[in-house]
Structures are given as structure tokens and as C-alpha cells.
Chain A
Amino acid sequence: MTSIISARGLTKRYGRTLAVDHIDLEIPPGRIVGLIGPNGAGKTTVLKAILGLATFDGELSVMGKNPARARAALMEDVCFIADVAVLPRWIRVWQLIEVTERIHKGFSRETCMEYLAQTKVTMDHKVKQLSKGMVAQLHLALVMAIDARLLVLDEPTLGLDILYRKQFYSSLLNDYFDEERTILITTHQVEEVEHILTDLIFIQDGKIALDTSMEEVERRYTELMVRPENAGRARELKPLYERELFGRHIFLYDNVDRKQLTELGEIHTPSVADLFVATMKGGKS
């Protein structure tokens, strides 16, 4: 299987700081990958390198092309939304559709109109007259009407209300995604995306802290909730992370036999958010 994105030793320096530190990545087609990390971990830098918006050291190939050299050619097959507020404010909706249609071969005006018909956006609106949610709907309609193989979403729902965020992800999953396409998402709101992700990449201080599939997460990681009297025994099993909630101790384990854990208390598959916190804390120590 050929990878959509393949990186070897991807590195980006800003002056003396190392924003991205020798990252290796391999993203096959047909996946929805969450790129998750704290502020300043280098997520956006990685995305910018992938999109041909930044120079970098190391090897990076996106659908066989070097993004730093072939951005324009690459954009035939890649779409991105780098947060919602980047549509030019002076432009009218019909002009935006017109210019996208003429420049993008894979753009379908029909599909775009279908999406827009479900919104309050009209052709004569200027972008600056639209609310933030409507701009996001417009941008999403544009992007989903483009037949691209890779969709990159950088904080796509920042500043949007919860109703719209839910709708956004459901149309993304139901109307857009298929086995041919790959979606790469960064977000702070991990809870919202965890049900649609197929793969997870945690990034910390410019390095990959975790790169795994969601099935793997379910198989490997276990969360255990125990009463205080069992906490000592639970600690002996070397948890990744420990926290307290309403007097209960919660432990997170990597590759520990579930049978053994069941004897101590209740077990669950951890949420991505808890796994994220555990990985970040673990990485620090």
C-alpha cells in the first residue's frame, strides 16, 4: 500500500528552537488521523510542511510529491481548511465559487450548491457579512465539493458553537469520507473527534509521542478504577498515569493483562483525552 504522507526525519527549526524534531510518519490512504498535541508542540508546523506552506529539513513526500517544491501541483489533490477565518472578507459567495471552479479541476459546482442549499448562505453575500458559523459552512461546502485525496483540517471548528461542530463532523464522516480519501485533523477538542478517528498521533515538543490506530488503543490501553485500599496493588503494575476522582483512584495501563486488572476494580478503554494526558505527563517524567 502506498502512503499518502510519508516523512523521514522531518525537522523544522525556527532560529535556535527546534519546532519539529526528526519526525517519522507514514499515513496510508483511507484513514482519519487525529494529530493531537499541546500548544506549541509543532502540530501546525507539521501541517504547514505537508501543505507546502513552510520549508523543512528531512524527507517528506505527499502523494509522491515534495510539498515545498510542488505546492500548486499538490493542491490538485489536497484540500485544507486552516481554521475557519481565512476566506477573503471582501469576496462574494458567487465569486468565490467561480474562482475556485476555474482554478480547481476537481471542483463540482453542483455538490457545492447542494451543501450550500442546506445553509442560509446566499450567492450575493459577501464573506464579511456572514457569521463565523456561516463562513465555516461555506468553506466546508467548497472543500467538500472538491474531489481531493487528502483533506487537512487545522482546528476546523475553532470558535464554532456545539450544534454546528456536531453537524460538521457528521457531514464530514457521512458525506465526504471514503476508502480512497484520507483526512488529517488537528484539534484541541479531542472528545469531539475521537469517535471518527481511525488513527491517533500524539506530538509533544516536536516529537511523536504516540502513533497508533484506534483498534490498537483499545487492545493496548486499559483504564482501571479502584478503591483507595487497592491503590497500592494497582501501582505495583506500573501504570502510565494515576489520577483521583471522587475518592477513587484511576490508573492507566499500557499492555497489562486485563484479567489481572479486573480483580482490582472496574476497567474501561480510556478516552483519547485521558490517554493524551497520560502520554504527555509520562513523556515529561
Chain B
Amino acid sequence: MNRLFALVRREYWENKGAFRTTPLVIGGIYIAFLLMSIFTTAHFDNEMYTFREAVRLLAGQTPEFRAAHGNELILGSSVFFSLVLAFVVFFYLLGALYDDRKDRSILFWKSLPASDTLTIGSKLFSAMVLAPLIFWAVFILTQIVMAAIASLMVISVGENPWTLFLSVVNPLSAWGILLVSYLATSIWFLPLYAWLLLVSSFAPRIPLLFAVLPPVVFAILQIWIAFLKTFTFNDSLFGLIGEWVANSPAIISVGADGSKGVLSLGIPLTSDFDHSVSLANILDRLFSTQMLAGLVVSAVFLALALWLRHRATDN
């Protein structure tokens, strides 16, 4: 356990820029945008008349209405964090078993009494738990700062932020469901993560190419063969990957529900399952046959990655 902890810390040290600085920068951008919009409003309307009216209008709505919309706002602002997190994790895994082979430091890491299984475990843990946790924590921090700024604004126009939204909106449930969604998404995308680790364990150079090219070639061949046979474009690996993303338990899109936009899990292209954001729906994705098949694929990829890591040296 101590060794796993030491290895995860090493991953954090090596990837501080991606894991810590990146979410902090995004949080900073959020706050900067909020301040900019306040100054813009104040610039054209120095009495803050519009803002005052908006607050008054909001105060006139029912607490339930304010709670629901506050919740949507919290989860909605997480989407950008989540997309950047996906990029960070993608490139982290692509380099995870490649970088130390390239700079030969694998010879140092392999001189330590830590098994290859533990090493791969520490990299998966960093991608699946550590990075999402840091992004999640920084996201919460950002929202607290933004809520503080918004409260000051509300006070400045003579209203009470406590009765207006602070006591009404309960951020804990939104933050909680976001964390569950992050961790569930990590499990959901394990087949992809395992593929990236596999590529990073064997790619002689440019792992990105090795990660992307084989599935692209495979999918194009599939589509071509299907076209020759049936003169239609049937399902291919592309379709499968697209479907996988669309069915994921990540909160990434706004689906149209009647007249208003509602946040949804994955991308609600089909009605195969309920896309609305709830704990039950997230867990439902994890206990699906799709997920089971994905875990089998992941196990194969990870076993191969481990086997290759076991053999890997500096050349």
C-alpha cells in the first residue's frame, strides 16, 4: 500500500502541470469571465438597473424553481472541466508507459523493488481516481469563489444572497453526483484507458499515431467491406466508439426536453436508456452488459500491457 502510494505520488509529481495546473487555469478562466461580465454590465449600466431587476425577478420565483436551476447551473458549468479532464487523462495514459522507455529512466524505475503490476496499477489509479479527484476539488473551489462574488453583487443591489440562493440551492448533491459521475465514467472508459496503456507500452515512437491509426484503418476497412456487400454504411468500430461515448455516464451534454435544455448523461441520441442525470441512471450504466463486455476487453488489453511492460527495457 505504501509502495502504491509512493508510485501514485510520483505520477502526481511528474504530471503536476496536467493534473493540478490545468484545472486551476480553467477555474481562473471561469472567475475571470464572471468578473469581466460584471464589469461589462457595470460599464453600460452604472446603476446596475438590469441586474437589480433580474435579481428581483429571481427572488419572485419559488424556492423549488431556484433550487432546480441552481443545480443545473452547477452541473452545467462542470462540462468544460470534464472535457478538459478527458483530454488530460487521454494524453497522460498515452505517455504513461512510453515516456520512461524513451528517456531510459525505465532502467531506474525497474531497479526499485516495485512490480510491473503495481506500476501499471499506479498509472491506472492516477488516471481513474487521482486526476478526476483533483479536477473535482478545483471545480468546487471555483464554484465557492464564484458564489462569493455573486453574493457580493447581490448584496450590492440590496438583496439578501442567503435567502435568494445560498440557503436554497444545495450544492452538495450536485457535487456528489458529479464525483460519482467522474468515477463511473472512469470505469466506463476503462477499455479505452487500457487500450491507451497498451499502446504506450509498445509504441516505438509517436504513441498517438499507434493509438489512433489501427482503429481508424480497421473501421475504414469495415465500412468499405460492408459497403461492398450491402451498398449501405452499417455499424463499424466508429459506430461502436460513438455509441460508447453517447452511452457514457458522464455529464457532458444538454439534451432538449420540451422547450428547455436539460443536462443529460452521455449524449441522448437514442432512447435505449434514461439519459437524465441521477445516481440510479449512472449505476445502471455500470451494471449493463455493455460494461461487462468492456471490462473483458479491458482485461485483455491490460494483460497485454503488463506482459509488454514486463519485457520492456530501454531499447
Q: Do A and B form a real pair?
A: yes
- Asked if B6 and A99 sit within 8 Å, CB to CB, the answer is yes
Set of chain B residues within 8 Å of A91, measured between Cβ atoms: 10, 13-14
CB of B234 within 8 Å of the partner chain: no
Question: Given the interface contacts A48-B313, A90-B14, A95-B10, does A53 sit within 8 Å of B110 by beta carbon?
Answer: yes
Set of chain A residues within 8 Å of B109, measured between Cβ atoms: 88
Question: Given the interface contacts A71-B110, A99-B6, A100-B112, does A89 sit within 8 Å of B103 by beta carbon?
Answer: yes
A17 → chain B closest CB, angstroms: 15
B106-165 CB contacts (< 8 Å) to partner A: 106-116, 118
Question: Given the interface contacts A99-B6, A103-B113, does A86 sit within 8 Å of B314 by beta carbon?
Answer: yes
With the chains together, A250 CA to B292 CA distance in Å? 76
User: Chain A: interface secondary structure?
Assistant: mixed
A74-115 CB contacts (< 8 Å) to partner B: 74-76, 78-82, 85-92, 95, 98-100, 102-105
With the chains together, A85 CA to B9 CA distance in Å? 23
- Asked if A73 and B113 sit within 8 Å, CB to CB, the answer is yes
CB of B3 within 8 Å of the partner chain: yes
Question: Given the interface contacts A53-B313, A55-B311, A88-B100, does A102 sit within 8 Å of B113 by beta carbon?
Answer: no
The one of B7, B14, B113 in contact with A75, judged by C-beta atoms closer than 8 angstroms, is: B113
A-B CB pair tally, cutoff 8 Å: 81
Question: Given the interface contacts A54-B313, A80-B111, A86-B314, does A99 sit within 8 Å of B10 by beta carbon?
Answer: yes
- Asked if B105 and A102 sit within 8 Å, CB to CB, the answer is no
A238 → chain B closest CB, angstroms: 43
- Asked if A85 and B111 sit within 8 Å, CB to CB, the answer is no
CB of A277 within 8 Å of the partner chain: no
CB of B104 within 8 Å of the partner chain: yes
Set of chain A residues within 8 Å of B118, measured between Cβ atoms: 72
- Asked if B3 and A103 sit within 8 Å, CB to CB, the answer is yes
With the chains together, A51 CA to B113 CA distance in Å? 11
Chain B's closest residue to A80 (CB) is B111
Question: Given the interface contacts A86-B107, A86-B314, does A102 sit within 8 Å of B3 by beta carbon?
Answer: yes
Number of residues from B at the complex interface, CB < 8 A: 28
- Asked if B6 and A82 sit within 8 Å, CB to CB, the answer is no
- Asked if B112 and A88 sit within 8 Å, CB to CB, the answer is no
B182-228 CB contacts (< 8 Å) to partner A: none
Question: Given the interface contacts A55-B311, A80-B111, does A88 sit within 8 Å of B3 by beta carbon?
Answer: no
CB of B62 within 8 Å of the partner chain: no
A99 → chain B closest CB, angstroms: 5
User: Chain B: interface secondary structure?
Assistant: helix
B74-108 CB contacts (< 8 Å) to partner A: 100, 103-108
Chain B's closest residue to A77 (CB) is B113
B121 → chain A closest CB, angstroms: 12
- Asked if A75 and B111 sit within 8 Å, CB to CB, the answer is yes
- Asked if A103 and B7 sit within 8 Å, CB to CB, the answer is yes
- Asked if B104 and A86 sit within 8 Å, CB to CB, the answer is yes
Question: Given the interface contacts A86-B104, A87-B108, A88-B105, does A72 sit within 8 Å of B6 by beta carbon?
Answer: no
Chain B's closest residue to A78 (CB) is B111
CB of B288 within 8 Å of the partner chain: no
With the chains together, A88 CA to B111 CA distance in Å? 13
CB of B287 within 8 Å of the partner chain: no
Set of chain B residues within 8 Å of A90, measured between Cβ atoms: 13-14
With the chains together, A102 CA to B118 CA distance in Å? 14
With the chains together, A86 CA to B110 CA distance in Å? 11
Chain B's closest residue to A79 (CB) is B111
- Asked if B108 and A86 sit within 8 Å, CB to CB, the answer is yes
- Asked if A88 and B14 sit within 8 Å, CB to CB, the answer is yes
- Asked if A104 and B112 sit within 8 Å, CB to CB, the answer is yes
Set of chain A residues within 8 Å of B9, measured between Cβ atoms: 98-99
- Asked if B6 and A102 sit within 8 Å, CB to CB, the answer is yes
Chain A's closest residue to B13 (CB) is A95
- Asked if A89 and B105 sit within 8 Å, CB to CB, the answer is yes
* Chain B 1-33 interface mask (CB, 8 Å, partner A; 1/0): 011011101100110000000000000000000
Set of chain B residues within 8 Å of A52, measured between Cβ atoms: 110
Given contacts A95-B13, A98-B6, A104-B113, 5 further A-B contacts (CB under 8 A): A88-B14, A88-B100, A102-B6, A103-B3, A103-B112
A-B contact pairs, 25 of them (CB 8 A): A48-B313, A53-B107, A55-B311, A71-B110, A72-B113, A72-B116, A75-B113, A76-B113, A82-B107, A82-B314, A86-B105, A86-B107, A86-B108, A87-B108, A88-B100, A88-B109, A89-B103, A91-B14, A95-B10, A98-B9, A99-B10, A99-B112, A100-B112, A102-B2, A103-B6
CB-CB nearest 9 A-B residue pairs: A102-B6, A75-B113, A72-B115, A88-B105, A86-B107, A82-B107, A76-B113, A103-B112, A53-B313
